[in-house]
Structure 1
Amino acid sequence: MSSPSTPTRGRPARLDRTRTLHKALDLLNQSGLDALTMRRLADAMGVRAGALYRYFATKQDLLTAMAERMMDGVAESAAEAGEGDWSEQLTALARAMRTALLAHRDGARVYAGTHATGANVLGFADACVGVLREAGFRDDDAARALFTVANFTVGHTLEEQAALRASDGEPADPEVLREALTAGTYPHLSATLPTLTSTDFTRLFDFGLGLLVEGLRARR
């Protein structure tokens, strides 16, 4: 009897954890998270669906492993870019995380809700906490700041990626908001419409991150 990983249609067996993760990320970038299923991944690997469960017991296990892979090199790249005081180092770490998530279609959706404990995610977290502790923050404040910065980064990137239409990658039509404001009485929103409809997501991210850093500076 053939094993669950016996290839179909005579193709050679090429299944291992690393190759499976690479293929899963390829499929994610091609079609998005909603289209990524264990069956489709198995078909792309040329194996039976049950073979994947050797490495990933559930799809959530697969997503957690994908999140870990996305964070590969993030802490190291931030260390190279973030010279200066603690605020510049922390800012570099957050920017590097955003860049890593944006590198993959629906990257923030994949990362959100996972609790990876691999070297990439833990290395990033350790770097964030280390920067703050060495700057004189209390241990509990450093840990909470890690959650705050990471959650802001993931949340912002979720909205940023959601604002791009999956079909062609173009920003959502700002006319939708403009028409909604015209239909009602929202003077303050109307006054700030150019900013509200801006697609300069990097500037928006840096503004929010700056607020967090200044809040931490005041607390320190």
Structure 2
Amino acid sequence: MADSMFEAEMAVLDRPGPGMDWADWLVARSRAVRRAMLSHRDGGRLREHMHDPSGQWPGLELLLQMMEEAGFTVEDAMSAIFAVGHHILGSVIAQQEDQVPPGAGNAGIDARRFPRVARAVALRAEGRDHDREFEYGLAMLVAGCRAMLDRR
């Protein structure tokens, strides 16, 4: 069931437009994959349990080709793609399983001893911004990939 639900969204990727930066293309594709998973109830968990990856090979081939053309080795491109993919999957699962009610408190944290932890927990209890968290992590991963590529 999961295989068929995501086959169309996950297997076909368009080539980047003329002059489009590899990073902008990867970010756009990452957002599209995330939207596809979020469009299904428990889409993250369903995607996690896909059994037949062969339907994704055309998309993966294109991703590897685009990254290689940008200057990555196939090994580095694969590592980058898996890191971004894990980020997408983890963020979708976290969002779809978020059960912390707003205003859940500070979980008994001694705010005098751990003021930063208490503030961070309070911010999280006020409600998570899953879109912001996803974008922040994606930006960090892409910046890291770009830095690694620039070092070559």
Q: Normalising by the residue count of structure 1, what TM-score does the alignment of the two structures yield?
A: 0.58
Q: Quickly say closer, same or farther: Cα 1:103–1:90, change in 2 above 3 A.
A: same
Aligned-pair CA distance for 1:147: 1.1
Q: Are 1:102 and 2:38 matched, yes or no?
A: yes
Q: Residue 86 of structure 1 contacts residue 135 of structure 1 at CA under 8 Å; is this kept in 2? A: yes
Aligned-pair CA distance for 1:193: 4.5
Aligned-pair CA distance for 1:135: 0.3
**Structure 1, unpaired ranges of 5+:** 1-61, 165-171
Q: Are 1:144 and 2:79 matched, yes or no?
A: yes
Q: Residue 42 of structure 2 contacts residue 96 of structure 2 at CA under 8 Å; is this kept in 1? A: yes
Aligned-pair CA distance for 1:109: 0.4
Larger deviation, residues 155-164 vs 123-132: 123-132
RMSD: 2.4
Give SS of 1:192's match: helix
Match among 98, 107, 111 for residue 163 of structure 1:
98
Q: Quickly say closer, same or farther: Cα 1:173–1:130, change in 2 above 3 A.
A: same
Counterpart-to-counterpart distance in 2, 1:99 and 1:186: 37
Aligned-pair CA distance for 1:142: 0.7
Question: Corresponding residue for 1:168?
Answer: none
Name the aligned partner's letter for residue 89 of structure 1. W
Give SS of 2:14's match: helix
CA deviation profile, 1:51-102 (whole Å, cap 9, x unmatched): xxxxxxxxxxx4xxx23432413465x638x642000111111111110100
Question: Corresponding residue for 1:67?
Answer: 3
Question: Corresponding residue for 1:44?
Answer: none
Larger relative contact order (C-alpha < 8 A, sep ≥ 6)? 2
CA deviation profile, 1:152-206 (whole Å, cap 9, x unmatched): 1111111110015xxxxxxx31322x23155664311233356424332111101
**Structure 2, unpaired ranges of 5+:** none
Q: Residue 106 of structure 2 contacts residue 118 of structure 2 at CA under 8 Å; is this kept in 1? A: no
Give SS of 2:31's match: helix
Give SS of 1:124's match: helix
**Aligned 1:127-142 pairs, distance under 5 A:** 127-142=62-77
Higher-Rg structure is: 1
- Counting matched residue pairs gives 145
Q: Residue 9 of structure 2 contacts residue 33 of structure 2 at CA under 8 Å; is this kept in 1? A: no
Give SS of 1:79's match: coil
